[in-house]
Chains A and B, each alone.
Chain A
Amino acid sequence: MGTEAKRRQPRWLLYGYCLYLALPIYWLATMALQSNQDIVGDLEIVPSRLTLANFAEIVGNPVWYSAFGHSLSYVILNTLISVTVALPAAYAFSRYRFVGDKHLFFWLLTNRMAPPAVFLLPFFQLYSAIGLFDTPLAVALAHCLFTVPLAVWILEGFMSGVPRSLDEMARIDGHGLGYFFFRLFLPNIRGGIAVTVFFCFMFSWVELLLARTLTGSETKPIVVVMTRTVSASGLDWGVLAAAGLLTILPGVAVVWFVRRDLVKGFALGRV
């Protein structure tokens, strides 16, 4: 502990950074709890009149809460697809050599570098042509463009950290590949899977451009409903702030539930 304490700077940097993170969110929360008159009125650092009317507006309006449901459905779908297809691929990359493996790995990563703006029109045409437009599956598949390469990249790192002797031992013990993979191998990379789920959920939940392009009236996600509110009713800051605050919650819930695995995953230094 002596050496560890010595290489620390004073904690003020960490607290200062957290203050910097907290202030804009604090301000969002105060706006969510004020009426519009109070928001545009005199500026108060600690608001004196609080109200839950903005949240009541959201809870009472099906446009808002169904939009939350639409967002969650494509995010969860995307996370499931990404992790499911990335697991065998990452295992193949970490354990075997095969024709074109290096090129394939690099090609996957280049897809992470493609700007979504480039794919707006082709995606719209492609998903319209196969009848997937305005379904959660369309957005989930489109988001695979950046979540799948990232998932393979992260999982490959974690899997390569598991000694190959584990594979050998399972083979000597006469276990089949399926039993070995699900019962012996996956528990060893729990932390890695948590990190992967975290990143897939994160990048799918926060994306606006593709989600906006691939959804119509049926499955409008929360991020789109929010941008519509701005333009439609002008300056309804209170409801906008309340909705913004609510969009933070699912992400925080995910990271809170996997935090122990995340710490383990990050502590392996294999991200």
Chain B
Amino acid sequence: MRRWDNRAWLGVLPVVLIVAFSAVVPLMTVVNYSVQDIFDLNNRLFVGFEWYRDTLRDPRFLEALLRQLGFSALVLAIEIPLGILVARNLPRRGASAGVWLVVLAIPLLIPWNVVGTIWQMFARPDIGLLGAGVNALGLDFNFTADPVDAWIVLLMMDVWHWTSLVALLAYAGLAAIPEPYYQAAELDGAGRWQVFRHVELPGLKPVLLIAGLLRLMDSLMIYTEPFVLTGGGPGSSTTFLSQHLTTMAVGQFDLGPAAAFSVLYFLVILLLCWLFYTAVMRSEDVEGGPGGH
């Protein structure tokens, strides 16, 4: 058992101070703006929940939200199973394990705008290997003009970029499953699917919860990669919430509406993460879990 000792607060104090500085102060500013009409910094008017009502009725917000939800759902549906598959095939020990980890980690360590640039160069129909290659096969493919093509490239890019994170976490989870579990399953005559379903999946649950949560929250915040790759187009077919918000706040300087948008955006992410967490925790009993509290 953990001992009860309030002096432990001294240990968490630096973290509380630094996060309060970099999160609470800005968040209070945003909430403050969201209920005011700001003409300039000395001239403002309290408007209550007007900006919230406007945002919730704004078709552009709702469309961006729908696109965002579709994107995150697709990303999770592809990356989690693929990441588990990759992790199952990684060697567990030896020098090659380290090399594989480095190779897998490379996409994670590339700046996000460079990821967008790489995929733009790779997918463009004029200079890109992918774009020109698909066109050479006789298929019409141009992600700068066709929304479906833009979505395909965007999903390919995100899978390329982030599946490694799921794979690395799943690899850690698989390594923690004791060998006797597998031997017991083999004695019971379990097939490959049954071993996965009854030995590996329960063991993977804590790390899959972390991987799923990280991918969920990060895909909901995506900005840089589509901004560089498609600029939100063609039309607004790949404009997600962050890009819409950035245009409002920095491009048009609509402080009040942008702040209300921000608060709603944050609440949507919190709500979805909470739903995801609850759904995974409910699905079966799990030992431990993140934080272990």
Contacts and interface: CB of A to CB of B under 8 A. Distances in A.
14 contacts: A4-B179, A7-B182, A8-B88, A27-B122, A28-B121, A31-B127, A40-B127, A98-B5, A98-B7, A117-B243, A157-B290, A205-B109, A267-B92, A271-B207
Question: Which of B22, B33, B168, B224 has its CB near the most chain A CB atoms (within 10 A)?
Answer: B22
A108 interface: yes
B291 A269 contact: no
Contact of B172 (A4, A121, A244, A268): A268
A28 B16 CA distance: 42
A226 B114 CA distance: 8
B137 interface: no
Interface in B87-144: 88-90, 92-93, 97-115, 117-119, 121-122, 126-130, 132
A91 B220 CA distance: 31
Interface in A218-271: 222-223, 226-227, 230, 237, 240-241, 244, 247-248, 250-252, 254-256, 259-260, 262-263, 265-271
Interface string B268-293: 01100100000000000000001111
Nearest to A32: B121
Contact of A269 (B112, B173, B192, B243): B173
B173 A31 contact: no
Given A145-B22, A209-B223, A126 B29 contact: yes
Contacts of B90: 14
A270 to B, nearest CB: 7
A21 B160 contact: yes
Contacts of B201: none
B52 to A, nearest CB: 15
A172 interface: no
Interface stretch (A58-66, A147-155, A182-190): A147-155
Given A7-B195, A208-B111, A248-B109, A97 B2 contact: yes
B266 interface: yes
B265 interface: yes
Given A255-B109, A268-B176, A117 B221 contact: yes
A113 B22 contact: no
Contact of B250 (A31, A120, A144): A120
Interface of B: 2-12, 14-16, 18-19, 21-23, 25-27, 29-30, 33, 82, 85-86, 88-90, 92-93, 97-115, 117-119, 121-122, 126-130, 132, 160, 163-164, 168-169, 171-177, 179, 182-183, 186, 192, 195, 207, 210, 217, 220-221, 223-224, 228, 241-243, 245-246, 249-250, 255, 258, 262, 265-266, 269-270, 273, 290-293
Contacts of A256: 102
Given A81-B18, A105-B291, A227-B113, A122 B29 contact: yes
A178 interface: no
B137 to A, nearest CB: 14
Interface in A80-128: 81, 84-86, 88-89, 91-99, 101-102, 104-105, 108-123, 125-126
A197 interface: no
Contact of A152 (B15, B26, B105, B129): B15
A50 to B, nearest CB: 16
Nearest to A221: B111
A189 to B, nearest CB: 14
B89 A122 contact: no
Contact of B15 (A6, A45, A108, A202): A108
Contact of A241 (B97, B121, B172, B174): B121
A10 B270 CA distance: 40
B14 A119 contact: no
For the residues of B in contact with A, the DSSP-based class is helix
A149 B89 contact: no
B250 to A, nearest CB: 6
B290 to A, nearest CB: 7
A223 B224 CA distance: 11
A223 B225 CA distance: 12
A180 B6 CA distance: 20
Contact of B106 (A25, A148, A230, A271): A25
A240 B29 contact: no
A205 B111 contact: yes
B102 A251 contact: no
A117 B8 contact: no
Contacts of A6: 186, 192
Given A8-B89, A97-B4, A148-B19, A248 B110 contact: yes
